Chain A
Amino acid sequence: MLAFLGRSLIQKIITLFFVSVISFLIIYLAPGEPSQIDPLNPKFTQEVLERFRKEFHLDEPLYKQYYIFYRDLLTGKSVSWKDNRPVLRKIYERFLNSLPLFILGTLITWTLSFPVGIHAAIRRGSFYDRSTTFLAYLLISIPGFFFAYMLIIFVVTQFHVPVIGMETFGLSPRGLFIPLMDRVWHLLLPSILFAAGGIAVLSRYVRNQMLEVESQDYVRTAKAKGLPPDKVHYKHALRNALLPFVTMFGLVLPGLIGGSVIIESIFSWPGMGRMAYEAILARDYPVILTVNFISAILVLVGTFISDLLYMVVDPRIRL
């Protein structure tokens, strides 16, 4: 087992190295330099440009820039080119804003997907099964931004509550209840949107997994010996169907960054996705690269955790 862990760790570090090289090359070899972001600005004379390039090491050869960038990143010294603040600190602040969205979204996804998927599988071919199937396809197919605007129109016209941003600007801080409700309303829509796609995918997956187990011999045996259906479904089938999902706990980690760009820009939510989007617009290379690097780490850590969990819960694949 230790050998497996060691091998997997080395493999992941190599992968991470190549990810860092590729993302660096993509960004630095793209046409246009950050020094040319504002060519019409009269303050950008040739000398200022030169100074700018020297300051950010843009005049060095590429491999040296790569070395400088990742040295700064790993020692925590790299700063945003836009406002000269430490990148890690900036990301951490935005991360705290994204966290409630992520937690609530994930909670909604997991608490809704399982009952829906399990019921659909048990009552295969019923009206419930067919309608949830169709609903799942609908949720996968709807463009996130369109769904967001439908929800905004609905909530704003029906409930007359503001939903854009993290809280209502200028709301008097008196009392505990009103600001709290305000926060909850602002949090609700983006979280639902965050969860929508996840619910669709996960509930389908739960259903298929459950169907797979329900067709196994031991479930038929359990039915044949006259156990009550509930016991067969929830004790014999469900426990085995749950196995793959334990591993999915690891795979939700990358969701912290990806997928939230559009939702966060619609709701003016000052989270990681929006920061990344703003960094792209401003050609703030250190922020873009760091976000990319962190999300690659999250993917790798996520798969590592899921491998680990799989070994713990399923004795059949203990290596």
Chain B
Amino acid sequence: MMGMDEKRGSAFPEGGVLETPKKTLFQENWSLFRKNRLAMAGLVIFVAFFIIALTGLFLTYGRNPYFNPALVRLQEKLRPPLSKPNLETLKPEEVPRLGIYLFGTDDLGRDVFSRMLQGSWVSLTVGFVAVSIAVVIGIFLGGIAGYYGHWRVLGLFSVDVLITGLIDIMLCFPSFFLILTVVALLPASIYNIMIVIGLTSWMGAARFVRAEFLSLRELDFVTAAKALGVSDWRIIFRHMVPNAMAPVLVSATIGIATAILTEAGLSFLGFGVPPPDATWGNILSNGKNFLFDAPWLTFIPGFAVLIVVLAFNLFGEGLRDVLNPKLKERH
């Protein structure tokens, strides 16, 4: 959080002598954050998920992966979790790597553990890429509206009116329905989903950045920077954006959770990633046909989504509490 200290500055102690604060802002925030046990749990799960997804990518990627998520063993279908493979019916290369089906197998005898590993990477990238797109658009449009808001386009409307109008228009669309429509009309691909989720969820970030910029614009350090002849570009990105990032960061963290849920919902309805590749949503979607015979096909991906989304939400809320200066004064 560099640049943040510009806004708050250091307090004058009683003696009137300026002292440097004992802790940096980051240390102060971190010690506050650690007190929030739920948020810490969220952070730990978040990091673990990141590592699992990354190793999952390496272990399931390529033509001959270590864990093969697409290997069909029809004779071993719908085996419950932790069951041992029937070695007599399997070719040596078909035997699961761990010696057991850790999470069982699905209706085609594919190893659910490998599929979950593959799906974790999909969930992670969808969440991060979609939110990155949303945040970039949000900072860009919100920044323009906040900083250049008084400019007029064609002498008629101010930039601010145009951009807030665009935000209002976008908020009128029922978001899940819009995403569903676009994804259904476009060819099935994971990139389309990321882009569509990103393009339909930037409004929150834009509003936050605009509001922050409107107040930051009037502050002394911006005036000082202008007086020094710093370029607009540098004022915006070096001085103002870091100060406006706190609410954006919080909404981005929670946005990742929402994006993962949206992707799972799309996969569930059959509009997600095309079939051979696994996502948590389509594992669950396949599993619903065997709800009573093979409940693990529903529960394993369901709980995985739940835990990851919960972790992001808790982490985001913890971040909000820490970055909220109002709450800080009470401690």
Contacts and interface: CB of A to CB of B under 8 A. Distances in A.
B261 A143 contact: yes
Contacts of A143: 261, 264-265, 268, 281, 284, 302, 305-306, 309
B68 interface: no
Given A141-B310, A145-B284, A153-B292, A296 B172 contact: yes
A3 interface: no
Contacts of A257: 174, 177
A30 B185 contact: yes
Interface string A95-122: 0000000000000000000000000000
Contact of B257 (A15, A141, A262, A296): A141
B295 interface: yes
B99 interface: no
Contact of B178 (A15, A30, A273, A292): A292
Interface in B156-202: 165, 168-169, 171-178, 180-182, 184-187
Nearest to A18: B169
Interface in B179-236: 180-182, 184-187
Contact of A295 (B174, B268, B291, B303): B174
How extensive is the interface on chain B, given as a class?
35 or more
A81 to B, nearest CB: 15
Interface majority SS on A: helix, strand, loop or mixed?
helix
A298 B186 CA distance: 27
Nearest to A255: B174
Interface stretch (A54-62, A181-189, A236-244, A274-282): A274-282
Given A137-B310, A149-B298, A258-B176, A19 B317 contact: no
A279 to B, nearest CB: 9
B175 to A, nearest CB: 7
B242 to A, nearest CB: 27
Nearest to A152: B291
B136 to A, nearest CB: 21
B169 A280 contact: no
B288 interface: yes
B314 interface: yes
A16 interface: yes
A161 interface: no
Q: Which 7 A-B pairs have the closest CB atoms?
A: A146-B302, A30-B185, A258-B174, A141-B310, A141-B309, A296-B172, A295-B174
Interface of B: 38, 165, 168-169, 171-178, 180-182, 184-187, 257, 261, 264-265, 268-269, 281, 284, 288, 291-292, 295, 298, 301-303, 305-306, 309-310, 313-314, 317
